Structure 1
């Protein structure tokens, strides 16, 4: 299990690296898109800018989430990371609305984009940067069991598809079809909104204590444990790297408290061994009564 301090430093390092790359990419797209009146490139730039903003939010979230459990937060502060993950999704929805507004204005005013060969160079470089960021952030997210990094990498992954779409729209625009540029901006907005809804939904499930490990998986382990006559009310909650398990086991009424305690400890050990992300197992012991 990765220590809190090490995990915090590792995630912060990832976020600082991706922050620098995302801000660099966004500035290039926004400046060029603004100078050439290209709604597609300009909107894609703001989408990339939000990647940087989410990195900043992530740095704040990790600082809070890494605090150890205390009297007011006995289960730790990990869910603050989930809260900031929802912030990413909500902000992405706002970005999608802004992109739609820009595309609509471009269609109404029929602004003619002034795109040259520099557009392809800028888009190609930013595409390579996005591919690197997605692979790097997702890999580190899995290693560090950070739902924020995984969600952020999923968000950045949309940049790859969007940038490819923008490149196609730029080519078509250069061929003499300027209306394709704002349409490309609308497509960008759809991708942003779709990914935002997915992130919000997944994070909301974590906050609502959705089951993390299937009941049947825990049950299959309990069946191998000697001394347990029956079990029920198996519940799990939490997120990657911090899962809590609650369950009831029924034991022979005649055994001593010490023996029942040993069985409970054995249950806790085998569950943690099987599922490394489990950090706490609450075992309730009940006397087993045969049904007449």
Structure 2
């Protein structure tokens, strides 16, 4: 089992443990803000399950029906996570609205607040793990899950401070206001996750910095060629697809041109793990003569 898949499975266990802790904190205090915080954790568990399915599917090797691999499956999971986050936000808004008219006395429970704080610490540690593994293995699903957890940590800490202040002052309305703030923060996170995932599904190009690095590597390792042009890139999960035209002297042998391509591909592959490079070799007299000059 790959590290990505193990971490994805771990998220389910961590999510369930945190959900139990936050629900206990809510039951001890009766706070709608803590209830909203627990409700967001339900989304964490659901999104972790979606991430497991996506990471497993994306790890499958390329086949005859999917010659470019299955990496884009993670983007679908990330979109699903974003949609679930938005639904959670709607549920939080509903709970907050009901809370405005609820006159039930809240219970001051240091134990409840402490348990919610412990849940936030666990989430913070696991968010760091998800972001670290997700970025190093270029996994959109794990990164989306990590960002969601990190937002959960921030909102949990804010809720803890606010609920503590409310219990001390007796201002009951603060509970619902805090829940509304949590809902807005969750809604914003959902939008960010969906936006980034849609960019991946739409074959967004690599960043300008990455493209500059690719151009430099072509120039540094393309000795024997004359120039390169029509560089194109696209991101699909862990994989960066790169293609360009390489101009060589008209009398150069195929074997020599192939060696040049190998050098460039190895250089790019070393700098961008998972990169898939396609090079179209063309003779000088048929080239556009515009683009990357090979030194």
Shared fold per TM-score greater than 0.5: yes
Structure 1 runs (4+) greater than 6 angstroms displaced: none
Correspondence for 1:283 among 275, 279, 284: 279
Q: Is the 8 A contact 1:31 1:42 kept in 2?
A: no
Shifted more, 132-141 versus 90-99: the winner is: 132-141
User: Which residue number in structure 2 is paired with residue 51 of structure 1?
Assistant: 44
Shift of 1:111: 4.6
The reply on whether 1:181 has 2:175 as its aligned counterpart is yes
User: Please, which of 172, 186, 208 is the counterpart of residue 202 of structure 2?
Assistant: 208
Counting only pairs closer than 5 Å after superposition, residues 196-235 of structure 1 correspond to structure 2 as 196-214=190-208, 215-224=211-220, 225-235=222-232
The DSSP-based 3-state class of the residue aligned with 2:45 is: helix
Deviation at 1:157? 0.5
Q: Name the CA shift for 1:111/1:232 in 2 (closer, same or farther; >3 Å).
A: farther
Q: 1:128 aligned to 2:121?
A: yes
Whether the aligned pair in 1 keeps the contact of 2:71 and 2:237 (CA below 8 Å) is: no
- Mapped to 2, the partners of 1:28 and 1:291 lie a distance apart of 64
The reply on whether 1:191 has 2:185 as its aligned counterpart is yes
Other-structure match for 1:238: 235
| Cα deviation 1:248-276 (Å, max 9, x = unaligned) | 11111122233322222222222212322
1:130/1:157 contact within 8 Å kept: yes
> How many equivalent pairs are there?
284
Tell me the secondary structure at the aligned position of residue 194 of structure 2: helix
Q: Does 1:163 align with 2:156?
A: yes
Structure 1: tracts of 5 or more residues without a match: 1-5
**Aligned ranges for residues 1-292 of structure 1 at < 5 Å?**
6-7=1-2, 10-33=3-26, 36-175=29-168, 176-214=170-208, 215-224=211-220, 225-239=222-236, 241-278=238-275, 280-289=276-285
Distance change >3 Å, CA 143–CA 275, structure 1 → 2: closer
SS in 1 for 2:279: strand
- Distance (whole Å) between structure 1 residues aligned to residue 253 and residue 6 of structure 2: 52
Q: TM-score, length-normalised on structure 1?
A: 0.89
Does the 8 Å CA contact 1:64/1:77 hold for their aligned counterparts?
Answer: yes
Residue 223 of structure 1 aligns to a residue in which SS? helix
Instruction: Check whether the contact 2:201–2:236 (CA below 8 A) recurs between aligned residues.
Output: no
1:3 corresponds to: none
* Counterpart Cα distance in 1 of 2:64 and 2:132: 34
User: Which shows bigger deviation, 22-31 or 39-48?
Assistant: 22-31
Which is worse superposed, 186-195 or 218-227? 218-227
Using the TM superposition, give the Cα deviation of residue 162 of structure 1 relative to its aligned residue in structure 2, in angstroms: 0.9
Give, in whole Å, the separation in 1 of the partners of 2:108 and 2:38.
15
TM-score with structure 2 length normalisation?
0.89
* Separation (CA, whole Å) in 2 of partners of 1:115 and 1:291: 75
Instruction: Could you tell me which runs of 5 or more consecutive residues in structure 2 were left unpaired when the two chains were aligned.
Output: 290-295
Residues 21 and 116 in structure 2, CA contact (< 8 A), matched pair in contact too: no
RMSD of equivalent CA atoms: 2.1
